[in-house]
């Protein structure tokens, strides 16, 4: 059974009591958008030496460019000062542990619910998936001009090291 949200709301009350970061306009001050995995081992701002308000952060399973992440990139570039897009999957990612069918099998085994018809976006060949996603962004008609630089990176969850792949 759930413990509710009281602990999180109490932590937020402490955070809000000392909050001094109000008044931001929502523009990415460092001109960066980061698409990374929803994995709790990743703190995208910290690993790049950035702070609140510096970047647009989008999290997806596996750090893949989903339709919503693509929309976020387009809006970020054209409305929110994004000049650099970083696609950042990571080592030891569950979404790289098999194809969609294998991951759906795990969900079925754990829950009894069949999600085999759902597109999960897994990529057992992580570098191929990263290459596909970066190419998809670089060739999108709304991202092709010289106003945005797009790179593919791999974050190592065991060392904290970020390596540029593309």
Q: Which residues are annotated as a binding site for Zn(2+)?
A: 37, 39, 90, 93
Whole-angstrom Cα distance, residue 129 to residue 115? Answer: 21
CA angle 111, 101, 165 (to 5 degrees): 115
Could you tell me which residues are annotated as the binding site?
Answer: 37, 39, 90, 93
Question: In the chain, what are the helix, strand and coil shares in percent, each to the nearest 5?
Answer: 35, 15, 45
Which residues are CB-neighbours of 31 under 8 A, at least 6 positions away?
81, 82, 83, 84
């Amino acid at each position: 059974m759930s413990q509710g949200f009281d602990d999180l709301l109490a932590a937020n009350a402490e955070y809000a009591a000392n909050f001094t970061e109000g008044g931001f306009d929502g523009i990415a001050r460092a001109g960066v958008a980061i698409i990374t995995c929803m994995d709790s081992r990743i703190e995208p701002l910290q690993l790049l030496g950035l702070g609140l308000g510096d970047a647009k952060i989008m999290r997806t399973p596996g750090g893949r460019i989903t339709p919503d992440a693509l929309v976020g990139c387009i809006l970020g570039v054209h409305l929110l000062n994004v000049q650099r897009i970083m696609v950042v999957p990571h080592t030891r990612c569950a979404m790289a542990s098999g194809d969609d069918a294998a991951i759906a099998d795990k969900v079925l085994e754990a829950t009894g619910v069949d999600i085999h018809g759902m597109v999960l976006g897994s990529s057992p060949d992580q570098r191929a998936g990263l290459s596909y996603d970066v190419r998809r962004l670089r060739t999108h008609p709304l991202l092709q001009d010289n106003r945005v630089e797009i790179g593919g990176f791999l974050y190592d969850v065991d060392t904290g090291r970020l390596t540029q792949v593309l």
